[in-house]
Amino acid sequence: MQSTTVGHPAAGATRYRFAVFALIVVIALVNYIDRGAISYSAAQITSEYGFDRAGWGAVLGYFGYGYMFGALFGGALADRLGAKKVWVIAGIAWSAFAIAMIWAGDIGVAVFGGSALTGFATIRVLFGFAEGPAYSIINKTMSAWASPSERGFAVSIGLLSTPLGALLTAPVAVGLLLLTDSWRTMYIVLGVAGFVLIALFARVYTNRPEDNPRVNAAEVALIQAGRAPQNPSSAAAANEMPWWSFFRSRTLVFNSIGYFAFIYVNFMLLTWTPKYLADEFHFTLSSLWYIGMIPWTGACVTVLLGGRISDWLYRKTGKLVIARSWFAAASLTCTTLCFLMVSQAQSVWAVIALMTLGNALNALPNSVYWAVVIDTAPTRVGTFSGLMHFIANIASVLAPTLAGILSAKYGYSSMFVATAVATAVGVFAMLQVKPGVGPKTGRSTGETVAV
């Protein structure tokens, strides 16, 4: 590793951490397109296998069952094995299961008594399990590679893949479908892209910046500035903190419920927007490639802006409760109002505008939920991020499944009312969050922000 003498941590520092952040965004981007591409295949798959609206909602929801448990175990494994190993294992697995999607219905017909739905359930659950660790290990990675003063923004960079992936899913999926006229070929292309990216990642990433030859001493000092010093015995004791201590923290539990609200909005829009627009406003596949992008445009900006705002509020006030909790609650309040208005809107452009605004407001505090885990339990980031993601991703099952049931029985407007209810619950939850109070001792984690 290079050695640099500096008078200030930022002087002469390399900026390799931003290359790491960027590569993670690209990997997570492909991860997100993988999971959302099926929504644009609705017409081909439902006509091939005869799924009705409720059945299609079940197909979309199966992913979430695996995703929940993948997030749970992925975070714990990242603490035990290191983020790099889990990134590589998970990336290989989700790329393989993306390709396996091409046989999902046929497996069900051949193996499960002629039930194509069971075949899709099997592959989608495994696919979800493989993709589940991604965001927990993003948080583990950011906790190692970002200083406390840039933590909110760094986490938001990793989370940019959520709205950007959803935005690019439309042109990528529709483009591949129109080019090949085959949803199966689309999944082959996406799976191969995943294999290539994870191979590149394995060559250039290290779990700790100080172990990477591309990072100089000044950048290491910058990353470590403001972190609470720990002696080996106290660090070892913290790492032995049992996983169930997560549930002793009111902050971590309510933060997970707040994140549930974000996930609910995200998965409802990701899975149902294409079919909703096609059924209600008669958009064709050739127009959905750009119409499907619109609801995600604002979120691509606000997910980054939110991290900056949260960090700014912390520097100005010195209060994590304002920078994290109140900020998230205010954003979710506005999100709730937007989706209530969507349920009453009649014009297609009013619907799209309100969906776009609501989604942008929902994404604004996305980095907050992950930053709260780092603020509150910095030595157990992987495990506790996984637990948060597990709880929140109940919404990844509930949102698409409930939207299918409600829309079949009461019409599409009801799924937007349900979304508003979910975000209102999130408002209440985030008002209970007190970041920085650890689950075991009840004391502050002791980190400070370099201003």
Q: Is 304 among the domain residues?
A: yes
Torsion on CA atoms 426, 73, 26, 193, rounded to nearest 10: -130
183, part of any domain: yes
**Residue indicated by tokens 């295949």:** 41
pLDDT in tens, the chain (451 residues): 444 444 455 568 788 988 888 898 899 889 989 988 998 898 899 999 999 888 998 998 999 899 889 988 887 888 888 899 999 999 999 999 999 999 999 999 998 888 999 999 999 999 999 998 888 788 788 888 887 777 777 777 877 888 888 889 989 999 999 999 999 999 999 999 999 999 999 999 999 899 999 988 888 888 887 565 554 544 454 455 787 889 999 999 999 999 999 999 999 998 898 889 989 998 888 888 788 889 999 999 998 899 889 989 988 998 999 999 999 999 999 999 999 999 999 899 999 999 999 999 999 999 899 889 988 888 788 788 889 988 998 998 899 999 999 999 999 999 999 999 999 999 999 999 999 765 554 445 544 433 2
Range of the domain at 367: 16-225+242-430
Amino acid at 323: A
CA distance 334 to 356: 12
Q: Return all residues near 439 (Cβ < 8 A) that are at least 6 apart.
A: 241, 245, 246, 248, 249, 251, 252, 376, 377, 384
* 1 falls within a domain: no
Nearest to 273 by CA among 35, 42, 440: 42
pLDDT (0 to 100) of residue 156:
79
443 part of a folded domain: no
Q: Is-contact 34 348, C-beta < 8 A?
A: no
User: What's residue 441's pLDDT?
Assistant: 46
287 burial via Cβ count (<10 Å: 0-12, 13-18, 19+): middle
* Cβ-contact 325, 431 below 8 angstroms: yes
- Tokens read off for 38: 């099926």
> What is residue 308's predicted lDDT score, i.e. its pLDDT?
87
Number of domains in the chain: 1
Is 105 part of any domain? yes
Q: Note the pLDDT of residue 406.
A: 95
Exposure b/e, 10-43, CB count within 10 A at least 16 = b: eeebbebbeebbeebbebbbbbbbbbbbbbbbbb
Q: What is the CATH number of the domain that holds 119?
A: 1.20.1250.20
Residue 435 lies in a domain: no
Residue 396 lies in a domain: yes
First-to-last C-alpha distance (Å) of the chain: 28
pTM value is 0.76
| 11 located within any domain | no
